Amino acid sequence: MPTEPLTLATDNAAAFWTAVGESRGDALTRRPGFLAVSGDERAGLRVLTLRADPSGGDLSELIALVRQGTGRRVMVEDAYGSVDMSPLGLAARQLPVMIRHPGAPLPAPSVPVTRVTSAEDLRTAERIVVDGFALEHFQPYRPGVVFPPALLDRVELFLAAIDGEPAGACLVNPDAAAVGVYWVTTMPEFRSRGVGRAIMHEVLTRFDSRPVTLTASRSGRPLYESLGFDRITAATWWA
């Protein structure tokens, strides 16, 4: 029986954050109902729910971890609508989880995109994500904090350039069942010039035999819909 799209997306996200956490040396807690990645003061605590009805023990442990993490940065990604973090003082927003199945044709890109293979390009991609997403908790920028060198052995990264200048980046976590796309970023000075579309074209062409999943921002959703992505659900992000 084919795996449900939401399970494909959440399983990939769990594998992605496991790779990120282990490469940073973070503490990981994995239960059937959730994954928690606890980093330093800058990274904070990130929790992903992995099923619609976590058991009583899992739910109690999840809430305890979040309660212990208050006072620093906390993010709970709940794609299943299974937890209510408002009693702990967290605010909610919703972001669409999306999937694209292989097979739909793509227009040719207008911006060159390359896969990251060197430490220098890894630093460039890291800086683009930190600055492009305005990750204030990782400012001032320090090389290797967000993307340690070990991460390059766990996921794939891509860089886009315009006139030789780094313009955009993304991370990709391919597994046997699906390909997860994370942190698709365009630097402000290069927006509306086809950078995000070119990055996604490279990813979708490279991994054209597997479903591709992602969580879209409001501004990014029209691009993904134009590339054939469909909404699976609206995930609640508690922060």
The CATH number of the domain covering residues in 113-233: 3.40.630.30
Q: What is the mean pLDDT of residues 79-99?
A: 95
Q: Please, which pLDDT band fits residue 145 given cuts at 50, 70 and 90?
A: very high
pLDDT in tens, 40-55: 989 999 999 998 887 7
Amino acid code (one letter) for 45: L
Is a pLDDT exceeding 90 seen at residue 213?
A: yes
Say if residues 138 and 126 touch (Cβ distance below 8 Å).
Answer: no
Say if residues 215 and 96 touch (Cβ distance below 8 Å).
Answer: yes
Distance CA 175, CA 44 (A): 26
> pLDDT value at position 2?
66
Q: What is the mean pLDDT of residues 207-223?
A: 94
Contacts of 33 (CB under 8 A, 6+ apart): 49, 50, 51, 53, 54, 55, 58, 59, 62, 82
Bigger pLDDT: 176 vs 105: 176
Q: Is the dihedral of CA 83, 185, 177, 14 positive or negative?
A: negative
Q: Is the dihedral of CA 3, 19, 95, 207 positive or negative?
A: negative
Q: Is the dihedral of CA 53, 58, 62, 64 positive or negative?
A: positive
Amino acid code (one letter) for 18: T
Q: What is the mean pLDDT of residues 70-93?
A: 92
Q: Please, which pLDDT band fits residue 1 given cuts at 50, 70 and 90?
A: low
Annotate 192-226 with three-state secondary structure: CCCHHHHHHHHHHHHCCCCCEEEECCCCCHHHHHH
Full-model pTM: 0.92
Q: Where in the chain is the domain with CATH 3.40.630.30?
A: 113-233
Average pLDDT, the chain: 94
Is a pLDDT exceeding 90 seen at residue 70?
A: no
pLDDT in tens, 24-42: 999 999 999 999 999 998 9
